[in-house]
Structure formats: structure tokens, C-alpha cells
């Protein structure tokens, strides 16, 4: 149910950990790969970005 909500075409903000530091990313989801456990996003400038699902702390 929550994964289906991620695929809606609306902007989201994600807090995630990288190298022990908390980072924030704002953008839209364009791909969800459950096999590799990756969430792919694009920011406002259409630049692609990928986050491992295990590193996500909060999505809003």
C-alpha cells in the first residue's frame, strides 16, 4: 500500500542516510525497483537520483 503511494506523480521529500549523515532530497519518483531495493527519483531540474530503500528514514 505504501509503495503504491510512492508511484503517484507528485513531489515528495525524503530524509535518508548516506555515509552516516542525514540528507534530504526533494523530487518525484520515476522508478521503484523492488529486486534491487532502490527508489529512483528526479529533482526539479530532471536530474536522476537513486536511493536504497534501507537508507530512507522518513518520506513526506
10: which DSSP letter? S
| In the predicted structure, residue 1 carries a pLDDT above the cut 50 | no
- What are the domain boundaries of the chain? 1-11+29-59
| In the predicted structure, residue 12 carries a pLDDT above the cut 80 | yes
Q: How many beta carbons lie within 10 A of that of residue 39, not counting itself?
A: 26
Convert the pLDDT of each residue in 14-60 to its tens digit.
Answer: 999 999 999 999 999 988 898 999 999 999 899 999 999 999 999 88
The reported pTM is 0.80
Q: How confident is the model at residue 4 (pLDDT cuts 50, 70, 90)?
A: low
pLDDT above 90 covers a percentage of the chain that reads 63
Amino acid at each position: 500500500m505504501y509503495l503504491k503511494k510512492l508511484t503517484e506523480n507528485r513531489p515528495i521529500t525524503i530524509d535518508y542516510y548516506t555515509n552516516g549523515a542525514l540528507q534530504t532530497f526533494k523530487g518525484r519518483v520515476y522508478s521503484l525497483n523492488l529486486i534491487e531495493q532502490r527508489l529512483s527519483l528526479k529533482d526539479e531540474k530532471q536530474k536522476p537520483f537513486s536511493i536504497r530503500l534501507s537508507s530512507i528514514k522518513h518520506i513526506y
